[in-house]
A and B are shown apart, each in its own frame.
Chain A
Amino acid sequence: MPADWLWGLVGGVMIGSAAAIYLLGNGRIMGISGIIGGLVDGSARSQWAERGAFIAALVLVPAMMHAFAATPPQTHLTSNLALVLGGGFLVGMGTRIGSGCTSGHGVCGISRLSLRSILATGVFISVGVLTVALLRAVGE
């Protein structure tokens, strides 16, 4: 559907603008795994206030949009609890070991032509493609 890519582009520009404001305002890279991971493992306790504010807004704005939407979108997350827990654990581990996720490497890193981020993004997209192909092959 053509509207999908248009909304993708609009949402993407908003995401990139958010990252731009975080960089030019606070001098920080808007990488979600880094922002949350640093709070969870205690390596960024000194920045809890600004990181907490960021997360609160990140949760509340979509919650309000969802509450007031005429046709609220679904997440369509699998009901298979093993996939949910296994997938979540691997996402948490992988993004911290690899120093970034889709926002950190994919948006912030690629946009400054960081070789590390370009390679990391290539790896997680390629492995994601293979994983989905295997999932589809076993009928999930």
Chain B
Amino acid sequence: MRIAFALIAGALFGAGLYLSGMTDTDKVQGFLDIFGAWDPTLAFVMGGAIVPMALAWQRARGGAPLAGGRFPQPASRQLDKSLFVGSAIFGVGWGLAGLCPGPAIASVTYGGLNGLWFLLAIGAGFVCAPAARRRLDSAATVT
């Protein structure tokens, strides 16, 4: 059952990214290009996605997931250095290439060789991140 839910979610997510145009780096960089030829599409994608998910969070109050287990803990309220530093690093990479992890994976079969390189570079970043994060966290506790 868990596998079935994962397959349905992955399929819907992939189709949604494809149809919304979010695997096109021109549309993503166009959204970030507010001083140039601004393309608002990404705002509609995010807005459209937040509504069903907000309803799901409402529904998740109290009960349990259909496949068993528990719902995630309430959102942490701790604002640490790694949240801001990490998000800023992500923002630089996102702006440089116009792809975030979801669309990079969704477009891997038609993104050419560079799409594959991009994905491998994300993987390298994932591998290096835990060490970098530990350094950030320990630096934060010292100061």
Contacts and interface: CB of A to CB of B under 8 A. Distances in A.
Q: Answer yes or no: do A and B interact.
A: yes
Interface of A: 4-30, 32-33, 36-37, 40-41, 43, 49-51, 53-63, 65-66, 72-79, 81, 83-103, 105-117, 119-121, 123-133, 135-136
Interface size band for B: 35 or more
Interface in B74-105: 75-79, 82-102, 104-105
The A interface is mostly helix, strand or loop, or mixed, namely helix
Given A60-B14, A90-B93, A106-B46, A123 B84 contact: yes
Contacts of A130: 91, 95
Contacts of B9: 18-19, 21-22, 25-26, 30, 54, 57
Given A88-B119, A103-B101, A130-B91, 20 more contacts: A4-B21, A13-B16, A13-B48, A15-B48, A19-B49, A22-B9, A23-B53, A53-B7, A57-B9, A62-B109, A63-B109, A77-B114, A88-B122, A89-B128, A90-B92, A91-B93, A92-B101, A93-B126, A127-B87, A129-B32
A54 B95 CA distance: 26
B35 A88 contact: no
